[in-house]
Structures are given as C-alpha cells and as structure tokens.
Amino acid sequence: MSALSVLPPECLLQPFIVPKRLMLGPGPSNVPARISAAGAQPMLGHLHAETIEIMNQIKSGIQYAFQTQNRVTLAVSGPGHAAMECAIFNSLEPGESVLIAVNGIWGERAAEIAERIGAKVNTVVTSAGGYFTNEEIEQALDKYRPVVFFLTHGESSTGVVHPIDGIGDLCHKYNCLFLVDSVAALGGTPICMDEQGIDIMYTGSQKVLNAPPGTAPISFSERACYHHTGPITSFYGLRESLAILAETGLENSWKRHKEVAEYFHKGLEEMGLKLFVQDKKARLPTVTTIVAPPGYDWREITGYIMKTYNIEISGGLGPSAGMVLRVGLMGCNSSKANVDLVLEALADALKHCHKSRV
C-alpha cells in the first residue's frame, strides 16, 4: 500500500494515442514528417557547441524569411504571444505613447498588452474585413505622435492581409518605430523587413513554417536579448522548417500560397459561398474567411466536417465571431488537393446540416 495520498493517475497508465487529422483551421497546421523527425533527435545541452550552431542556423533562416540583415534576430521560446509580449515590452516604456491599428483581434490584444505596461495607448479602428490607407495612418501618427506603431500584417481573425508599403517611411518621418505582427502571414505572402522599413517584426512557428508550437522568430531594432534554457528539440523542428523554406525559396512559397488560395476562392464562389473580405487584393492567402452560410449554425458545419472528414476548420474569432468560417491553407497544407478535399467536405456539410427557414 502506498503512503501517498495522491495516487498515480489512472489515465497516465493507459497508452497515449493521437489521431491523424487534417488541420485546415487558422493554426496550428500539420507538421511534415521531416520536421517531426528533426524534433525527435537526441537532446543536447543549451550551451553545447552544436546547439549554438543550430541557433546560428535558425538566425540565418529567420533573417532570410524576414528579409533582414538585422543582427538582433532570434527565436523566443514560446508561442506567438510570447514574441508579441516580448516585442511590445521591449519597445515601450510606461507612459510612452503607442499607436495600434485595430482591424481584428490581434490589434485588440496588442492594445491590452500595451495598456498593462502602462503605455498611453491610442488606436485607429476599422471594421472586421477592412484595413487602413496610408493617409489614415499618417493622420493618426501626426495626431498621437507615438514612439511605436503596431500593425498586424495577416489578421487571421478576419482574413485580411494589410498593405505594408510606405508605412515604414511614414513611421520614420514621425520618429516612431514600426512594429509588425506577421504570425499568420510570414512565408505565405510577401513581406521584406529591411526594404519596407520595419523595425521590429515577429512570427510564430506553428503556421506557414509548420514547426510545432513553442518557438517564435523575432527581429529587433538594436535591442539586447536575454538567455535561458531554450526548448532544444523545438529548435531542431524550427531549424528544419526554415530549411524547407530556404529550399523552396520565399518567392515560390508566396506564389504557391497565392495560387492555392485563389483556386480555393474560385471553388467557394462556384458553390455559392461568399468571401468575407470584399477587396480581392486584401485577402490573406494563408487564412480564408467565408461568410457564415445564412440559415446554418456554423458550429454544426465545423462539427460535421470534423466528425465526417476528420478535417479541422474553424469559426470566427473576436470581431468575426459568429460571422465567418475560417480555413487555413498554410505551409505543407497549402495544396490544391487539400482545397478539393475541403470544398467537398463543405458541400457535403451544406447538404447534411440543418437549415432553418429564414
């Protein structure tokens, strides 16, 4: 008899079986076998020469993916939120003024983080599915004179890709740092950090890069980084995902995501479904938002597709909650074969799910 009052949990004494699932939500996406295998390689110490070399390779890979020569480029241990917090905390002091563009949940989230630091938070806000013109951004920079301007490149809650050109110059004209969240867009649609005058940028590992969640690439303008015991085996996965991007080539990756997304959009329109983002050029290739089919309960549709096809797609988030279905086609999941599968699943769901009389 054990003297312990808390016994070994029965559930942990059973085998652990993970189902195979096609992950076509807004992330995480599926992990190619090559990346999973990299993560299963033997553990090393965080200060071993090989680990340092892997971290250097990761740095070069991120510099390539971000298109930056910036030396302060690294992977933060943690999810996209860790990079987001790191970027905002290291670029703002309490009492300083920050301007945040809000066209979905990620701008809202950045504003909450900045408020918690005690920064003076000002926002420009537009409706879900919309974006800002450079004129609107300049007016707000002039009015609020912030030290940092935050913009979401790929707003995964609404499916909008924000134009970036010219905004870096505007920020610098007003003596302000340009901070970009490219968690949902990097690798799937063009962005060139140095050329576009971006001072700080971050992404996540679990979307286009297809690496397991847990490492978040970030690039800072001339800031110091900190040190701790990093998630070594996640580094292996991130290194491999960046190697795949380097072999594919950024331009080819952007092109494939664009072509696959357009093929998907055409198929959706042929089925009579409507895209949530009106402006074609503002449609984020990695995450497509579809107007929730009128008369249906969106939860029944996503539930049916999961149960019948073992495919994950999702509903809206934040300002798009209840309004849309979201389908992610990212990294290795960005293929016409996956589009055909998800179109078939959607058509079947619309036949079988309950339609109320409206």
Helices 336-352, 298-309: crossing angle, 10 deg rounding = 120
Instruction: List, in sequence order, every residue forming a beta bridge with 202; answer none if it has no partner.
Output: 181, 218
What minimum distance in Å lies between the beta carbon of 106 and ligand PMP? Answer: 4
What minimum distance in Å lies between the beta carbon of 340 and ligand PMP? Answer: 25
* Contact indicator for 191, 181 with CB cutoff of 8 Å: no
* 106 near ligand PMP, judged by CB under 6 A: yes
Q: Residue 300 corresponds to which tokens in the numbers above?
A: 């029944």
Instruction: List, in sequence order, every residue forming a beta bridge with 153; answer none if it has no partner.
Output: none
Q: How far apart are CA 209 and CA 30, in angstroms?
A: 10
Exactly one of 22, 23, 24, 27 binds ligand PMP (CB under 6 A); that residue is: 27
Exactly one of 88, 176, 183, 250 binds ligand PMP (CB under 6 A); that residue is: 183
Stretch near ligand PMP under the rule CB under 6 A, chosen from 77-85, 121-129, 189-197, 348-356: 77-85
In terms of Cα–Cα distance, which of 324, 211, 286 is closest to 24? 286
- Nearest-5° angle of CA 116, CA 137, CA 286? 80
* Contact indicator for 287, 250 with CB cutoff of 8 Å: no
What minimum distance in Å lies between the beta carbon of 272 and ligand PMP? Answer: 28
What minimum distance in Å lies between the beta carbon of 109 and ligand PMP? Answer: 7
Would you say 26 or 319 has its CB closer to ligand PMP? 26
- Residue 169: its H or E element: helix 167-173
Exactly one of 26, 61, 159, 217 binds ligand PMP (CB under 6 A); that residue is: 26
What minimum distance in Å lies between the beta carbon of 266 and ligand PMP? Answer: 25
* 85 near ligand PMP, judged by CB under 6 A: no
* 312 near ligand PMP, judged by CB under 6 A: no
Q: Which residue is nearest to ligand PMP (CB)?
A: 80
Would you say 154 or 190 has its CB closer to ligand PMP? 154
Would you say 87 or 349 has its CB closer to ligand PMP? 87
* 237 near ligand PMP, judged by CB under 6 A: no
Q: How far apart are CA 123 and CA 291, in angstroms?
A: 26
Site residues for ligand PMP, 46-65, by CB under 6 A, read: none
Would you say 146 or 204 has its CB closer to ligand PMP? 204
Length of the chain: 358
* Contact indicator for 170, 314 with CB cutoff of 8 Å: no
* 152 near ligand PMP, judged by CB under 6 A: yes
What minimum distance in Å lies between the beta carbon of 155 and ligand PMP? Answer: 6
Q: How far apart are CA 71 and CA 286, in angstroms?
A: 28
* C-beta neighbour count of 29 within 10 angstroms: 25
* 234 near ligand PMP, judged by CB under 6 A: no
The CA-atom distances, in angstroms, between 223 and each of 147, 180, 217, 330, 337 are 15, 16, 15, 31, 43
Q: Residue 177 corresponds to which tokens in the numbers above?
A: 């740092």
* 84 near ligand PMP, judged by CB under 6 A: yes
**Number of residues located near ligand PMP, criterion CB under 6 A:** 16
Q: How far apart are CA 325 and CA 137, in angstroms?
A: 29
Stretch near ligand PMP under the rule CB under 6 A, chosen from 88-96, 113-121, 151-159, 269-277: 151-159
* 318 near ligand PMP, judged by CB under 6 A: no
* 130 near ligand PMP, judged by CB under 6 A: no
What minimum distance in Å lies between the beta carbon of 213 and ligand PMP? Answer: 6
String of DSSP letters for 73-140: EEEEES-HHHHHHHHHHTT--TT-EEEEEESSHHHHHHHHHHHHHT-EEEEEE--TT----HHHHHHH
Contact residues: ligand PMP, CB under 6 A: 26-27, 79-81, 84, 106, 152, 154, 156, 181, 183-184, 204, 206, 213
